[in-house]
Structure 1
Amino acid sequence: MTALSREQVETALAAYIDPDLKQSLPAAGAVQAVEVSETGIELRIQCKHACATRHADIKQALKDALAPLAEGRAISLVIEQQIDAHPSPKKLSGLAGVKNIIAVASGKGGVGKSTTTVNLALALAAEGARVGILDADIYGPSQGMMLGVLEGERPETAEEKYFRPIERHGIQSMSMSYLVDENTPMVWRGPMVSGAMQQLLNQTLWQDLDYLLIDMPPGTGDIQLTLAQRVPVSAAVVVTTPQDIALLDAKKGIEMFRKVDIPVLGVVENMSVHICSQCGHEEALFGAGGGERIADDYHTELLGQLPLALAIREQTDAGRPTVIAEPDSAHAERYRAIARRVSAALAEKCATGGNSIPNIAVELD
């Protein structure tokens, strides 16, 4: 039997390119231990991104890659998953239980940002991560309805100054809609809205979260600026539709995050095609290729495309979003694929060194 070294094993493993990481596991630093003996090859793989539903496929792919070298040796593979915290020079006391913060934003309203946020959160949870959602759209909070939180349900308090997040479908959440009647309008000026958002974020006892997704209000106003100045945001995801007017505003959103030193992981193109519920015919009602063009223009990536589908709207309105209502559907798999790529892209940025909380100066020309 031919002797085997760790280098030979890792060279063989490098032939498998993970579709979420877009690189091999050795290149991603996921191979933690290699032991070769006359009778077996033992590997310990530690994934730094959420991908629990793909562990079995990864195992099989790695075994297939090693099979030509094994020469009768048994191949033993252990896959672990460990989500690292995004490094930040400043950690707010209210966020002690949060590893990573991802802002989900759009340049304009009506592109399905909140629906994307809740399904992305549920998809990350399905991939083995602990996830929370902060509904930062103070004027139009919607996450409570989407998660199936009953009207009038209020968060419990702790130590007379903290809220305990309301949990549904394994997701921790906090929203202004939990604190006021759903018919009460927030007739507030910008500073009051920014203050409310900070209170919701910092006075919630988030419990051991790998990811906190912030459902941002549309635009590039007070809340976005406050978030960039006061909160250690790990990265952002921008949601758009292929429509030219939506793309125009999405560009402004990407530019805003760049100016405040928050990396944009990529673009999610929502409502990319309409799928007929009767015949399955697909039609690009809002244009085609817009998400890919904007990703190319800003040297980021198109994380995924989501269809304009009646089922997604109905399930989310009913408080059971697609990822849990129909976990085996093609729509749910699209969300999970986007979630895995978001997690992998953030893990890569963490490994190469991340952003810090920026200092923002306003200058008058």
Structure 2
Amino acid sequence: MSADAQQSSALLSTLENLIDENTERPYGAVWHLVEDDTRVHVTLTLGYPTQTEQARLEHVITPLIGDRALTLDIELDIKAQATQGNIDGLKGVKNIIAIASGKGGVGKSTTTVNLALAMAKEGARVGILDADIYGPSQGMMLGFAEGTRPQVRDDKFFIPPKAYGVQVMSMAFLTTKDTPVAWRGPMVTGAMMQILTQTDWDDLDYLFIDMPPGTGDIQLTLAQKVPVAGSVIVTTPQDIALLDARRGIEMFNKVNIPVLGVVENMSTHICSNCGHHEAIFGDAGGASLAAEYDVTVLGQLPLSLSIREQSDAGKPVVENAPESEVAGIYQSIARKLGATLAAQQDPLNSKAFAMPTIGMSDD
């Protein structure tokens, strides 16, 4: 082997053994090199989006190639992952991810919108379905004007409006803010399925479903009829929130939908005057929950006034303050989520989910 070939082989081996911060494992055989005496062209091909890591990776690789110039290309090869049961895939969507919580008020919708925007910044094609039929909030959080309505194609399909490059469909686009949805369960699940299946999703890598809280009708319909690749549980460190989050994890486990990780909101309060950090809702609750169920803590977010203010103003923090610490946390969560989903190599149990039966007796 020539000296040049040995040098090239050594560089390739070094790159393959670099630790991917999103998986905490070596990258492996995902690198391709083309080099000469003056330049090294490196191509990194990954199954999850990670475009915002371009500068960091260039900083890591540059010292390895001496005084030669570096060109780094990050290419995405995002594949459709296995889903529960034998459910047909959704046209125009590779992977559906349910964002869920056991109870309301833990920041699930805020997490959904910022996570979707972060995933788009990483280079993926992303959509959001607001499945909280009774209390849709994505329209306001993404800054859509009141009265926004989707266009209709062929008198059948909704064309989803876009915000910040993300395709969005919500019950908020079909009602007014003052119109209560006073429907029983079958009507609500029927509406959710209609806006999901009759929306003309355009070549999405990921569709995030902002679920209503709890484990009721919509969650069961999702498990039976929608091809879901994975779920994310959003919680706070409070014991009552963790109790409800456990029920959410157990539900997804029973219906063969993998829980890709836990996001802990309001993990600490940061004093706006002195910067003191205080875990006012409890300490390490999300970590203990993740350890109990052997899932990943995708990230922890502080209790932040700016997150609330920017969400209410229709300017999510990932877009409105992209250089902030909080936006960086959302970007990290997005990369880890994509990497975790891409690592799901084993096919899921194909056993169809069966509705539970309730028996009654006089005993």
TM-score (norm 2): 0.91
Gap runs ≥5 in structure 2: none
Matched, 1:237 2:239: no
Post-superposition shift, 1:275? 1.1
Amino acid paired to 2:354: I
Amino acid paired to 1:30: V
Aligned counterpart for 2:167 among listed residues 163, 172, 177: 172
Post-superposition shift, 1:149? 1.0
* 8 Å Cα contact 1:16/1:61 also seen in 2: no
* 8 Å Cα contact 1:229/1:357 also seen in 2: no
Amino acid paired to 1:47: L
Q: What is the match of residue 43 of structure 2?
A: 44
Tell me the alpha carbon deviations over residues 229-276 of structure 1, each in whole angstroms, 9 at most, x when there is no partner: 101101000000000000000000000000000000110000111111
Separation in 2 of the partners of 1:356 and 1:227?
16
What are the equivalent positions in structure 2 for 1:169-248 lying under 5 Å apart?
Answer: 169-248=164-243
Tell me the alpha carbon deviations over residues 8-56 of structure 1, each in whole angstroms, 9 at most, x when there is no partner: 4443223310111221221xx422x345667765542112111111022
Aligned counterpart for 1:21 among listed residues 2, 6, 23: 23
Amino acid paired to 2:298: L
Post-superposition shift, 1:127? 1.1
* 8 Å Cα contact 2:87/2:225 also seen in 1: no
Higher deviation after alignment, 272-281 or 133-142 = 272-281
Q: What is the match of residue 267 of structure 2?
A: 272
CA RMSD of aligned residues (A): 2.1
* 8 Å Cα contact 2:94/2:206 also seen in 1: yes
Amino acid paired to 1:58: L
Separation in 1 of the partners of 2:193 and 2:52?
35
Find the residue that maps to 1:100 and give its secondary structure: strand
Amino acid paired to 2:171: M
Find the residue that maps to 1:125 and give its secondary structure: helix
Matched, 1:359 2:353: yes
Post-superposition shift, 1:169? 1.3
Amino acid paired to 1:23: R
Find the residue that maps to 2:240 and give its secondary structure: helix
Post-superposition shift, 1:201? 0.3
Post-superposition shift, 1:328? 0.6
Amino acid paired to 2:48: H
Post-superposition shift, 1:168? 1.0
Separation in 1 of the partners of 2:72 and 2:61?
9
Q: What is the match of residue 91 of structure 1?
A: 88
Post-superposition shift, 1:225? 0.6
Post-superposition shift, 1:74? 6.4
* 8 Å Cα contact 1:21/1:345 also seen in 2: yes
Higher deviation after alignment, 117-126 or 351-360 = 351-360
Separation in 2 of the partners of 1:155 and 1:242?
38
Judged with a 3 Å threshold, the aligned counterparts in structure 2 of structure 1 residues 311 and 40 are, in CA distance, closer, same or farther, namely closer
* 8 Å Cα contact 1:20/1:340 also seen in 2: yes
Separation in 2 of the partners of 1:357 and 1:10?
42
What are the equivalent positions in structure 2 for 1:1-365 lying under 5 Å apart?
Answer: 2=3, 3-4=5-6, 8-26=10-28, 29-31=29-31, 33-35=32-34, 42-64=41-63, 66-67=64-65, 77-88=72-83, 90-92=87-89, 95-349=90-344, 351-354=345-348, 358-364=352-358
Post-superposition shift, 1:63? 4.0
Amino acid paired to 2:13: T
Judged with a 3 Å threshold, the aligned counterparts in structure 2 of structure 1 residues 181 and 75 are, in CA distance, closer, same or farther, namely closer
Higher deviation after alignment, 8-17 or 44-53 = 8-17
Amino acid paired to 1:15: N
Tell me the alpha carbon deviations over residues 89-122 of structure 1, each in whole angstroms, 9 at most, x when there is no partner: 5434xx3111111000000000010011001011
Separation in 2 of the partners of 1:260 and 1:248?
19
Q: How many percent of aligned residue pairs carry the same amino acid? A: 54
* 8 Å Cα contact 1:90/1:357 also seen in 2: no
Tell me the alpha carbon deviations over residues 140-189 of structure 1, each in whole angstroms, 9 at most, x when there is no partner: 11000001111111111001011110111111111111101111111111
Post-superposition shift, 1:218? 0.3
Judged with a 3 Å threshold, the aligned counterparts in structure 2 of structure 1 residues 74 and 288 are, in CA distance, closer, same or farther, namely same
Post-superposition shift, 1:61? 1.8
Find the residue that maps to 2:49 and give its secondary structure: coil
Gap runs ≥5 in structure 1: none
Judged with a 3 Å threshold, the aligned counterparts in structure 2 of structure 1 residues 19 and 261 are, in CA distance, closer, same or farther, namely same
Find the residue that maps to 2:6 and give its secondary structure: coil
Separation in 2 of the partners of 1:340 and 1:323?
14
